[in-house]
Amino acid sequence: MTDSNKHASSRDPQTRIVQPDDRITPGFESFAVPVVRGSTVVFPNLKAMRDMVWSDDSKWRYGLHGTPTTMTLAQRLAVIEGGDYALLQPSGLAAISNVYFGLVKLGYHVLIPDNVYGPNRDHADWLAADFGLEVTYYDPMIGAGIAALLRPNTKLVWLEAPGSVTMEVQDVPAIVAAVRGRGIVTAIDNTYSAGLAFKPFEHGVDISVQALTKYQSGGSDILMGATITRDEELHKKLKRARMRLGVGVSSDDASLVLRSLPSMKLRYEAHDRAALALAQWLKTRLEVAVVLHPAIADCPGHAFYERDFKGGAGGLFSIVFDRRYSAAQIDAFVEALELFSIGWSWGGSHSLAMPYTIRSMRTASAWPHDGVLVRFYIGLEEDADLRADIEAAMSEAFA
């Protein structure tokens, strides 16, 4: 408790291990952000403990609410998106959940795009079924037409541009303009762009949600999420909810994301180049009916992508196979791929492929295509090998 520790050397070694009298030379400066672990945060005296305010980030309070490592990561994430406040959660889904529990109450109405990240839909359906939330799904291409869906109790509008399976790019500014001035919070799941290519706050969105599990981690080895905002009151609401939910992140995990962050833009650009080239090649293939890549004109909202995205689309896109191929043939194609693995969560160095039946995922908008959709995530393998792998899998499955 005191600096002098004058009785230290007369104590038992066991006590001195628990309460050490370390003499480490200060001033070790490296580029690594130190991993600072801790549940207990020690107060210098009782007054400091009693004066502590749980919401005051200028003072350390308890490990769950932030450590120097996690706070460093939060600040850097805010920098990427041009936000002022960021909060970390233990997964992208936990960040989505934090938005709900921070902002909605019994009887509130929430609007959600029909192509939303699946577990967000499941979360909303759970809150609707068991907690009295009113939920309406809307056509992701609705634009200013969203005004017609607003109710007096509408308090939260989710956006996602593009949707991470069907890739519709929303007219974010039109939606934001249509709901502005009514006490409605807009929250975007901005995972697709990693906060690099699309800047939600420049388009008036209130909260950006990131699954750091994806590009920010880059290693397919971390689960983490973040909420970012420019609005201090919203940040405080989210922070209070997070505290009550009892969720935080470990400094070890945060340090791994901090390590990946400087290379994220270069990785994103590399994924983008390779994915776009593959998507353009797939568009020339007779097996493929539609290529859903935001930078390709087939993609709904392509014009909004051209207008609003600066910095590419990253590694994720989908194709719809010609309808002459059965679902079983598409399954055989995906399983015949050798370099593309079957699995959730993208953003790492390994390529992935996943078939989807979209019609069963929609409730508010028609899906115009008959063929099976396959979503590709293009990792960091050599492009020519990936293309040859797709070609070989098509020959094998469609022979």
How many C-beta atoms lie closer than 10 Å to residue 207's C-beta? Answer: 31
Size of the site for ligand PLP (CB under 6 A): 13
Distance from C-alpha of 48 to C-alpha of 42, rounded to nearest angstrom? 10
Q: Check binding of 92 to ligand PLP (CB under 6 A).
A: yes
Residue closer to ligand PLP by CB (options 69, 164) is 164
**For tokens 């399954």, what's the residue?**
331
- Report the residue closest to ligand PLP, judged by CB: 92
Distance from C-alpha of 298 to C-alpha of 314, rounded to nearest angstrom? 17
How do beta strands 134-138 and 154-160 pair?
Answer: unpaired
Among 97, 213, 260, 351, binds ligand PLP (CB under 6 A): 213
Structure-token pair, residue 293: 């890549």
Among 225, 248, 300, 312, binds ligand PLP (CB under 6 A): 225
Among 93, 112, 178, 276, binds ligand PLP (CB under 6 A): 93
Q: Check binding of 211 to ligand PLP (CB under 6 A).
A: yes
Residue closer to ligand PLP by CB (options 91, 186) is 91
Q: Check binding of 89 to ligand PLP (CB under 6 A).
A: no
Q: Check binding of 170 to ligand PLP (CB under 6 A).
A: no
Binding mask 186-205 for ligand PLP (x = CB under 6 A): ---x-x--------------
Q: What angle do CA 221, 116, 301 make, to 5 degrees?
A: 110
Among 164, 170, 229, 250, binds ligand PLP (CB under 6 A): 164
- Nearest approach, Cβ of residue 204 and ligand PLP (Å): 21
Q: Which of 39, 72, 36 is nearest to 57 (CA)?
A: 72
Residue closer to ligand PLP by CB (options 185, 249) is 249
- Nearest approach, Cβ of residue 198 and ligand PLP (Å): 12
- Nearest approach, Cβ of residue 336 and ligand PLP (Å): 25
Q: DSSP character for 344?
A: S
Cα–Cα distances (Å) from 361 to 244, 333, 364, in that order, read 32, 22, 10
Q: Check binding of 117 to ligand PLP (CB under 6 A).
A: yes
Q: Check binding of 301 to ligand PLP (CB under 6 A).
A: no
DSSP-derived secondary structure for 25-50: PS----SSPP----SS---SSHHHHH
Q: Which of residues 330-359 bind ligand PLP (CB under 6 A)?
A: 345
Q: Is residue 170 within 8 Å of residue 136, measured between CB atoms? A: no
Q: Is residue 147 within 8 Å of residue 177, measured between CB atoms? A: no
Residue closer to ligand PLP by CB (options 135, 209) is 209
- Nearest approach, Cβ of residue 286 and ligand PLP (Å): 31
- Nearest approach, Cβ of residue 334 and ligand PLP (Å): 19
Distance from C-alpha of 305 to C-alpha of 272, rounded to nearest angstrom? 14
DSSP-derived secondary structure for 289-305: EEEE-TTSTTSTTHHHH
SS3 229: strand
Q: Check binding of 314 to ligand PLP (CB under 6 A).
A: no
**For tokens 């880059």, what's the residue?**
218
- Nearest approach, Cβ of residue 365 and ligand PLP (Å): 18
Q: Is residue 130 within 8 Å of residue 176, measured between CB atoms? A: no
Find the part of the chain contacting ligand PLP (CB under 6 A) among 85-93, 174-182, 254-262, 277-285: 85-93
- Nearest approach, Cβ of residue 347 and ligand PLP (Å): 8
Task: State phi, psi for 154 to the nearest 5 degrees.
Answer: -70, 125
Beta bridge partners of 70: none
- Nearest approach, Cβ of residue 167 and ligand PLP (Å): 11
Segments in 107-171 forming alpha helices (H)? 118-131
- Nearest approach, Cβ of residue 101 and ligand PLP (Å): 15
In the complex, which residues of this chain contact ligand PLP (CB under 6 A)? 91-93, 117, 164, 189, 191, 211, 213-214, 223, 225, 345
